[in-house]
Structure 1
Amino acid sequence: MTEPVLGGRALGRALLARQHLLARTRLAPAALIHHLGGLQAQAAPQPPYLGLLARLDGFTPDRLSTLIEQRAAVRIALQRGTIHLVTAEDCLTLRPLLQPVLDQALRTTYGKRLAGLDLDALATEARALVEAEPRSFQQLGALLAATRPERDPAALAQAARCLLPLVQVPPRGLWGRGGPAAHTTAEAWLGRPLDPAPSPDDLVLRYLAAFGPATVADLQKWCGLSRLAPVVGRLAPQLLTFRDEQGRLLYDLPEAPRPDEATPAPVRLVAPFDNLLLSHADRTRVLPEEYRGRVMTQNGIVLGTLLVDGLVAGSWQLTGEQDVLVRPFAPLRRADRQAAEAEAERVRAFAGGGGTVRIEAGE
């Protein structure tokens, strides 16, 4: 092995730089959403807003709500089959690329309950229903079951979710408003067709720009697709290669930032469900293994996290009353505690400024 070795700290600094968590940026929100490949958004509405707040200077809730209302950004099932907030253009490109992820999820979770069903006919009927007017999954399942009384309505609605590019329409996802998740097709909502020939090469390059250096396994963990080694191999001549401390082969873009491992990393409050924690097979570059179970619960919840010196060092939450509570996993140094208080005050002000900030002592 002749490739240079990158230690965990160096990989963490590279990731934080590309995520704009070493230094905030003044990019337009849509440009940052595109760079990140979207923000996970299964819990509405806070995570995408808080994810942008951690990375952007001068960000206010209306800047994202306006994008959603103007149909420049949408919420749709994408990477790993989970709801992501993405730009309209990325919706039309990423959704067809990630169709195999949704197909696999449908087979794994609902295959037995849908056995023998004409899925093409189901998709055609579901499309007509949601394009006539946006529907919740409960409404859609009931309507589809009216002509299939022997079938489970919930399974029928989830089949439609996987077979069709369903976007959640406002007020779902709007800060301070919200509402039930009602769906229509991306084509109907955006007035444009899906990309007929999206490029997996672009998917790989965009992942490395936001999350590299990375292994093929990391890439596949982020998007949920498998068998991407041939795509990476095809791109390898234009990429740099490294090894991690376990000897795994890492790929990266030549011009992407790779800061020195001694680069200071400021205290940050990272959003719940943030892809910073979910986009690598080996998450230890930012999430110490001993803390994994404390931020990723058994029922699939990913808590907001406190970063200290580039690593998860606690959890935090913004309550419905606009209170910010930070729970360090160990006592913080005075400077780090002061920085955590400043970050929490920033979140409190973003949420309306009516709540309180509390930093626990740490165990």
Structure 2
Amino acid sequence: MTISDLKYLRLHNQLISQQPYANAGNVVAALGAMQAQDYAAAKWAIGLRLPEATDEDIEAAIAQKTIVRTWALRGTLHFLAAADIHWILSLIAPRLNTLYASHFKRLELDSAVLSKSFSTIEKALRNGKQLTRTELAAILNKKGIATNDLRMNFILLRASLDKLICFGERNGKQFTHTLLDKWAPATKAIKKEEALAMLAERYLSSHAPSSLKDFVWWSGFPLTEAKAAFAMVDDKFEEKTIGGNAYWLPKKLPDFKKKQSLYLLPAFDEYLMGYADRTTVVDEKYLSHIATNNGIFNPTIVVNGHVEGNWKRTLKKDKVLVEPHIFEAISKSNQSALKAVSKRFGKFLNISAEIS
């Protein structure tokens, strides 16, 4: 297998070059978890992996509780399938709570304060209520629980990791929080080893070819546990050398096609976010155009699995302007393909699209 094959196989496994599913829940479940701190970008990340999906379809999947947005891997916001959220949070929360312990101590958020905060939040969200961050902060402040100096951030983070709350539907443009058990009822508990193996299998099925280091980055688990996880799924996956580096991939490769392709990927898409080493698909000299020093990932233009530029959108009253920035010249056929995918993005937003 060559590096070129690797890129096409990743496009296939990440459901970009093939779209076998008909709903958002299956897409998110297949990828394990999808980065979602940029809400609009995260919706397009799901939408481009579904045939003819619209922004309204993704909003409907959230309202129907098929997919859930919460803090998950690496302590960042993700979409998770409703059926997966409990076992994934149970798996990752202990480590994240330990990693954030110094922040909780600095902010004087001890067990007593957190317990009072959680009790207050639980009462406020009973009977299916969905409240914004501002509304919850006001309720906590009234109970004598300060929410300044990042305290509210960490109260909500810990409440999410401890499976008390998740995001609900939006109230206008404001995000709301609701009780997780009412939004996505608890599922049967899974032992840590089994859950870690499930996460590794989900990751390799959707991100391979990928390295052990990639999984360490994506999952947030230390190398020793990542190795143990891969060892538990070595009946389905194996390590091979591609381009001088070691990657894990399925023992039985899917029938992926190497066809000419161009995609508009959103910011923070798993095609970039899912790996520690991104130089496999991005020339090193252009990495700064893709990711900033403070961890912001830009939307990308991917040609045949390789990042050839980035882009931005500007929403107007009746259309969206797609402004591409190509690193180097692309062929006329790819210029035509760029127009086609821009049109598809416009359809997702239910407005016309123009390249500016």
TM-score range, shorter chain: 0.7 to 0.9
Residue of structure 2 in register with 1:121 after alignment: 115
- Is the CA contact 1:79–1:98 (under 8 Å) kept in the aligned structure 2? yes
- Displacement after TM superposition at 1:204 (Å): 0.7
Contact 1:33 1:39 (C-alpha < 8 Å) held by counterparts: yes
Structure 2 counterparts to residues 1-363 of structure 1, below 5 A: 6-25=1-20, 27-44=22-39, 46-104=40-98, 106-107=100-101, 109-114=103-108, 116-118=110-112, 121-122=115-116, 124-132=118-126, 133-147=129-143, 152=148, 154-163=150-159, 164-165=162-163, 166-171=165-170, 178-190=172-184, 192-197=185-190, 199-226=195-222, 227-248=225-246, 250-257=247-254, 259=256, 263-321=258-316, 322-358=320-356
Asked whether the 8 Å contact 2:52–2:348 carries over to 1, the reply is no
Deviation, structure 1 residue 161:
1.8
Matched to 1:212, the amino acid is A
Q: What is the identity, as a one-letter code, of the residue corresponding to 1:224?
A: G
Letter paired with 2:55: P
Partner residue, 1:361: none
Secondary structure at the aligned position of 1:293 is classed as helix
| Local SS of the residue matching 1:85 | strand
- Aligned amino acid, residue 294 of structure 1: H
Contact 1:138–1:154 (Cα < 8 Å) also in 2 = no
TM-score normalised by L of structure 2: 0.85
What is the match of residue 175 of structure 1?
Answer: none
Change in CA separation of 1:116 and 1:40 when aligned onto 2, cut-off 3 Å:
closer
Task: Identify unmatched segments of 5+ residues in structure 2.
Answer: none
The whole-number CA distance in structure 2 between the counterparts of 1:150 and 1:188 is: 27
Deviation per residue, 1:37-85 (Å, 9 max, x gap)? 23222122x2233113322222223322221111122111112222122
Q: Percent identity?
A: 20
Q: What is the RMSD of the two structures over their aligned residues, measured on CA atoms?
A: 2.7
Distance 2:201 2:260 in 1: 25
Check conservation: 1:40, 1:274, Cα contact below 8 A. yes
Normalising to structure 1: TM-score of the pair? Answer: 0.84
User: Aligned partners of 2:270, 2:252: CA distance in 1, in Å?
Assistant: 22
**Following the alignment from structure 2 to structure 1, what is the Cα–Cα distance between the partners of residues 114 and 187?**
18
C-alpha distance 120-61 of structure 1, shift in aligned 2 (>3 A): closer
Query: Does the Cα contact within 8 Å between 1:8 and 1:284 map onto a contact in 2?
Result: no
Which has the larger displacement, 208-217 or 154-163? 154-163
Give 2:241's aligned amino acid. Answer: R
Supply the AA of the counterpart residue of 2:11. L
Aligned 8 A contact 1:13 1:265 in 2: no
Cα shift at 1:120: 5.3
CA distance in 1, matches of 2:338, 2:86: 38
Residue 239 of structure 2: SS of its match in structure 1? Answer: strand
**In structure 2, distance between residues paired with 1:266 and 1:347:** 15
**349-358 or 181-190, which deviates more:** 349-358
SS class of match (1:323): strand
Q: CA deviation at 1:352?
A: 2.5
